[in-house]
Structure 1
Amino acid sequence: MGETLLLGQTLAFTGDPFAEGPDAARHDPYGAVLIRDGKIAATGTADTLRRAYPGAWITDHGDALILPGFIDAHAHYPQTAIIASWGKRLIDWLNSYTFPEEMRFADPAYAAKTAKRYFDLTLAHGTTTMASYCTIHPDSVDAFFAEAKARNLRVLAGKTCMDRDTAPEGLRDSAQSAYDDSKALLNRWHGQGRLSYVITPRFSPTSTPAQLSALGALWAEHPDCLMQTHLSEQSDEIAWVKSLYPDARDYLDTYEAHGLLGPNAVFGHAIHLEPREIVRLSETGAALIHCPTSNSFIGSGLFDMTLAQVVRVGLASDTGGGSSFSMLRTMAAAYEIAQLRGNALHPAQLLWLATTGSAKALNLQDKIGTLAPGMEADLITLNLASTPAIAQRKARAKDIWEAVFPTIMMGDDRAVTQTYIAGQPLK
């Protein structure tokens, strides 16, 4: 394959803006990214790279901002059709909307149709990697991975496991079938192309201790896989967990006691944590995923972003509990929630969460999430004046942060002018 040189504004993180501030990012107002064989081969100023690679095919994006593709670190693709359903508390929402919809995924054709629609929607919004829960049906996992492989996407997913009678009969497996199905799916898909299998107990209230132990055993056999689940999303959920696991020290202990805590553990929400839980999450190197639109839509609470000082934190839409497929809207919600806790997140921190931060949370920082040589060329370009309202505010910008912040707060899929998957343009 030949070389392609993308021209435009570039923004690359060389450090963590939560530790170093905005100086952790490097902005080139007239920058370039060289793509070769699906990966980033070089970055720098446009003039430098044009001289160094005179034979490269040039795609000039003008003053659009070239970024790594957005990474959605916690989503439920089977809930695509029920996004923005009238809200209730978590448990009511699951019973009213989620579980009835997930039962439809016993039909492989319905699963395949939904997977196609889900990727169409997320890619239009500039999301190039997502970590998704599927349903208890192995066909739902096959549908997701087959569609992702056909599009050459880097994605992560797993069969959602539930064996307690707290889940409806049509969505229950068993400790043994959860182990067997997950192992078979892992062997079929993990490492195929750009796909990663994730061991996925839904959450402690819908799994028996036996099932959690079975999945802990599977994880011990395949420690390179991630394990994803939910943690401390709502106060009434925590009380429910205490009633089901009376001997557990706290919610996290229901996972830790069954071998489901470690450096490849990824916990969604984590809003109402106990001090012991924070210590153990930090000690074990686990990651937390902030789901701001979901947390506000279902009334869960306000995530504490200062946790990013002691644990890895990623960002996610949590669709369909989350109310948008857009990671721009998700960043805006993260900003708003942090404001309610007295913490004004800088635009550098917001963009980092949706790219490098989420890559680190998913232990994919060596593959995606930043503009650097050797990284996979999953990229997007953003028009920072995509609507009249955004354009008139951007016209007053004194630096890149003032220029990009209106798009974070008010942008949508109209701002995403191009999406590249492994160097190939989609539009």
Structure 2
Amino acid sequence: MINYRHALRASFFDVTATADTPQEIAEKVRYLEDGLLFIGEGVVRALLPWEEGRLHLRHSDEWIDLRGKLIVPGFVDTHLHYPQTEMIGAYGEQLLEWLTTYTFPVESQYSNSGHAAQMSAFFLNQLLSNGTTTALVFGTVHPESVDALFAAAAEQNMRLIAGKVMMDRNAPDYLTETAEQSYQQTRELIQRWHHHDRLGYAITPRFAPTSSPDLLEAVQRLREEFPDTWLHTHLSENPQEIEWVKTLWPEHETYLDVYDHYGLTGKRSVFAHAIHLQEAEWDCLHRSDSAVAFCPTSNLFLGSGLFRLQTCWQKKVKMGIGTDVGAGTTFNMLRTLGEAYKIGQLQSYRLCASEAFYHATLGGARALCLNQHIGNFNVGKEADFVVLDVAVTPLQKLRASRCHDIYEQLFMLMTLGDDRNIAQTWINGECAWRRDGLEEAA
């Protein structure tokens, strides 16, 4: 007998194991048109076809009826900035000017713990209402920003990784700190929050241009003291940024070499963007088992360039999808995958639906070294998932009626879908968010 708290009947799609090629993804897809998911104590107990699963019900009518809905693993967002939520969609600049004009002034507000708490609650609601159950998040330089975010995430029992920005040069005085101050405040935050419930800490130097050698040495010390933390920063987003790094760090061959020199590459190191990489940088990412975050929406919005997804596969570098709010213009992973498809098309790479959903779920979990915990419906995985209403607009309903299989349906979702398609979001085996008006029978 299966020991469960909830049993949900719906259609299910996931990828059952990590993959090293797009072809492997297709071989590991699982689709149940009529399935029954058993969850208990926050984890998956079983996923079975309905006719088999119904035999394990304690009572024949003891299940949540979500027929007509599609359940997929919760979306994993591998890079975004919660303080930038309030300046999303800011007009007219590329990366460096955008930081100076919009980002830094907004981030100055987060020394106020009340403001940080208010925006943390709004931010997490945006994640949940868009089906995102795990995220790797930038705070600001202020410890208050991270305390507020972690406290709000702990209330939701979310699996969230975040960190305070570390920054000691080439930024406004009101956002810079000394290397020692940054080290001490980060160390205290790690001790307070890392492994608290489902939370994890990411050591977060903003990027090489705002980091002195002393600061990166402090980051290195922290990484050595707390080797199971994450490292989260930016890499090769913009050509002007790369040229700036060359002038600041002339002794290093490449942008990534700056981080590698200080021991900051490796397992649980996630580098956002990685658009304009040299061959040696790809090789270093692979050799060190580092990961990258592909942020299609923000890359297009800021005019930064086109991420080379095919090269990422060829070089065997772990990769997840990032919305990169607020340069990214949506929290919604469906819309973000649609932009990823277009970036692929511009480079003659056809991103199919099964690969796209893999990157947004199990692939993202792998990039964060969390694939043993989340990313699919294998027995024992944490029960984080999203219930999708596959057709909520007249156009979607028309298009869905012409879909011949699950792959067409998924592709329709990632090209026409948005937050309206999110019916429910479940965190650790409990419904954490639901769209008003959705009827459910238990």
Normalised TM-score (structure 1): 0.98
In the alignment, what sits opposite 1:408? 414
In the alignment, what sits opposite 1:384? 390
CA distance in 2, matches of 1:3, 1:187: 34
CA distance in 2, matches of 1:32, 1:133: 37
Within a 5 Å distance, the mapping from 1:219-368 to structure 2 comes to: 219-306=223-310, 307-309=312-314, 310-368=316-374
In the alignment, what sits opposite 1:191? 195
Give the Å deviation of 1:308.
2.7
Number of residue pairs the alignment of both structures matches:
426
- Over the residues paired in the alignment, what is the CA RMSD in angstroms? 1.2
In the alignment, what sits opposite 1:81? 86
Q: Secondary structure at the match of 1:344?
A: coil
CA distance in 2, matches of 1:12, 1:45: 14
Within a 5 Å distance, the mapping from 1:14-163 to structure 2 comes to: 14-15=16-17, 16=19, 18-55=22-59, 57-163=62-168
Residue 179 of structure 2 is aligned to residue 171 of structure 1:
no
In the alignment, what sits opposite 2:5? 3
CA distance in 2, matches of 1:21, 1:288: 19
CA deviation map 1:15-45 (0-9, x unaligned): 4362424232111100121011111111111
CA distance in 1, matches of 2:308, 2:28: 22
Contact 1:213 1:259 in 2 (8 A): no
Contact 1:135 1:160 in 2 (8 A): yes
Normalised TM-score (structure 2): 0.95
CA distance in 2, matches of 1:331, 1:97: 26
Within a 5 Å distance, the mapping from 1:197-208 to structure 2 comes to: 197-208=201-212
Residue 186 of structure 2 is aligned to residue 182 of structure 1:
yes
CA distance in 1, matches of 2:54, 2:213: 60
The aligned amino acid for 2:183 is: Y
9-18 or 94-103, larger mean C-alpha shift: 9-18
106-115 or 7-16, larger mean C-alpha shift: 7-16
CA distance in 2, matches of 1:298, 1:406: 26
CA distance in 2, matches of 1:360, 1:236: 31
Residue 405 of structure 2 is aligned to residue 399 of structure 1:
yes
CA distance in 1, matches of 2:64, 2:136: 30
Contact 1:12 1:372 in 2 (8 A): no
Q: What percentage of residue pairs aligned between the two structures are identical? A: 40
Give the Å deviation of 1:49.
1.2
Give the Å deviation of 1:2.
5.1
Structure 2 unaligned blocks of 5 or more = 435-442
Give the Å deviation of 1:87.
3.1
Q: Secondary structure at the match of 2:361?
A: helix
Give the Å deviation of 1:60.
1.2
CA distance in 2, matches of 1:24, 1:371: 12
